A and B are shown apart, each in its own frame.
Chain A
């Protein structure tokens, strides 16, 4: 029988919580004894998704709610980052490499590209003025 576990954490949309989200997810995933590279990939993907929620979902408003759901079954990790912010009008455009709505803020426009590179699967669901859910999966090596 494959081992299962899950957790959920919720925090307000302050940028200082980007590091908090990374630490919480990496502590949870550490139960599976991943490699340093795997942990770094997961931290990077979580950081990108949470930063998107804070910058784009809530446009810097610091009282929005960001949720991170994390689970594993065997060595497959599933992570969901959920916000209830502005949503994404055009997901395909938002996911295109180098696309950014924040030119003046020096954003690289690489958030989704990094998430795709670091994880095995990435799905984005969004509705205008209702919010965005980013679902990611990664299989750890044996």
Chain B
């Protein structure tokens, strides 16, 4: 799992590359939470364009981040969601907690 970050205003954009499962979620949680605190970010955006696979462990990870971000008064959004991931997100109902945008620019504008 490769994780890249970029910060725009108080939004931390997390670019995930690889497969999101119970095994890789350990690393994602640790790195995202660390970076979110270090950068004093308020909102979180997950870029899922390079996520080749995600199972329900990924949903649990997203729900956990949602909780953390909500405590800090921020919002969470998803961008570049692939169709197979979108199907899982719909089954889980997690799309009611976080909005899905077509691009980073749209997400950043909405969260600003």
Contacts and interface: CB of A to CB of B under 8 A. Distances in A.
Report if A and B associate in a common complex. yes
Range of interface residues on chain B?
A: 20 to 34
Given A15-B22, A40-B84, A108-B60, A47 B91 contact: no
A18 interface: yes
B61 interface: yes
Interface string B3-24: 0000000000000000101110
B41 interface: no
B62 to A, nearest CB: 9
Contacts, number: 60
Contacts of A16: 23
Interface residues of A, number: 23
Q: Which of A16, A54, A55, A108 has the most C-beta atoms of chain B within 10 angstroms of its own C-beta?
A: A108
Interface of B: 19, 21-23, 25-26, 29, 53, 55-57, 59-61, 63-64, 84, 88, 91-92, 94
